[in-house]
A and B are shown apart, each in its own frame.
Chain A
């Protein structure tokens, strides 16, 4: 029972590079989310999806794009990475109440 799986777990990018973070869930959840967490702070919502083919902006969407082509996958893209995007990224999925989180992707932009 994998739950929510994020890949990769760690990544170092140079400023201006692009990358895609993958989130996969095997619980058939409709809702999926991408959060970022900076040191000593709570999570902030980047983008979310309420179903396959739908996405919406969260609290801090600038500099990120997302896609939900399949129900089980939610991709987070950084088109041109900036040092301010150095953070830990968490994906989550939900059936409507309690959310299940992945183990995070630690991204450093140099």
Chain B
């Protein structure tokens, strides 16, 4: 079973910041938080990951709470092309494999 809980769907207006929450209350000390997205019928796309510090890249920002039990992915200026299913996944870098456990994700719809 997925170790994360996400809302089923969210809407956001184009040009606004999209804030996608994720709960991972059972996360362990060596587990990272990963975000991927999947645009309709395409392969998943890596967005960002972090351990405990906030992270930012050209696509998004990741805010992780101090207790690490939840996080928020922020798309600062959402566009219509950001409409996708967003997956929050926890994974240990101690694993010798890369078995990501995928939940159902959040379907984000960006509205004009």
Q: Which residues of A contact B (CB under 8 A)?
A: 4, 31, 33, 40-45, 48, 50, 56, 58-59, 90, 92, 94, 96-104
Contacts and interface: CB of A to CB of B under 8 A. Distances in A.
Interface residues of B, number: 22
A50 B95 CA distance: 11
A104 B41 contact: yes
B46 A99 contact: yes
A107 to B, nearest CB: 14
Contacts of A92: 43-44, 98
A101 B100 contact: no
B31 to A, nearest CB: 13
A33 B99 CA distance: 9
Contacts, number: 56
A58 to B, nearest CB: 6
B17 interface: no
A39 B45 CA distance: 18
A42 B87 CA distance: 8
A99 B91 CA distance: 12
11 contacts: A33-B98, A41-B102, A42-B87, A42-B102, A56-B97, A59-B99, A90-B44, A97-B49, A102-B43, A103-B42, A104-B42
A98 B42 contact: no
A42 B105 contact: yes
B100 A58 contact: no
| Max count, chain A CB within 10 A of own CB: residue among B32, B100, B104 | B100
Given A96-B93, A97-B49, A98-B49, A104 B100 contact: no
